[in-house]
A = this chain, B = another copy of it.
Amino acid sequence: MAKLHTPLCDLLGTRLPIIQAPMAGGVTTPALVAAASSAGALGSFGFAYTQPEAMQRDVEAVRALTDAPINLNFFVNTQPTPIAPASQTAAIDAVAGYYQALGLPAPAPVRAPYAPDLHAQLSMAEDIRPEVLTFHLGDLPADRIRGLRTLGIKTGGSATCVAEAQHLEALGVDFIVAQGMEAGGHRGTYQRNPYEAMTGTLALTRLIVRAVKIPVVAAGGIMDGSGIAAVLALGAQGAQLGTAFIPCAESGAPRIHKDSLLAAREDTTMVTEKFTGKPARGLANRYMREMQSRNAPQLAFPAQGTLSGPLRAASGKAGNPDFLAMWAGQAAPLSRALSATELVATLEKETLETLDRLAALRR
A272 at the interface (CB under 8 A from B): no
- A13 lies within 8 A of chain B by Cβ: no
The residues of B that contact A197 with a CB separation of less than 8 Å are 267
Q: Do the beta carbons of B207 and A334 come within 8 Å of each other? A: yes
* Cβ-based interface call for A76 (8 A): no
**Which residue of chain B lies nearest to A267 when distances are taken between CB atoms in the complex?**
B199
| CA–CA, A229 and B209, complex, Å | 15
* A180 contact from B202, B233, B235, B361, Cβ within 8 A: B202
User: Copy number of this protein in the oligomer?
Assistant: 2
User: Could you tell me the distance between the alpha carbons of A221 and B196 in the complex, rounded to whole angstroms?
Assistant: 16
For chain A, residues 218 to 238, give those with C-beta under 8 angstroms from any C-beta of chain B.
Answer: 220-224, 226-227, 229-235
| Interface-lining segment among A1-9, A22-30, A142-150, A168-176 | A1-9
> In the assembled complex, which residues on chain B have CB atoms less than 8 Å from the CB atom of A315?
none
Interface residues of A in 141-175 (CB under 8 A from B): 161-163
Docked complex Cα distance between A6 and B358 (Å): 10
User: Which residue of chain B has the shortest Cβ distance to A201 in the bound complex?
Assistant: B202
Interface residues of chain A, those whose CB is within 8 Å of chain B, are: 2-6, 161-163, 180-182, 196-197, 199-204, 206-207, 209-210, 220-224, 226-227, 229-235, 265-268, 270, 329-331, 333-334, 352, 354-356, 358-359, 361-363
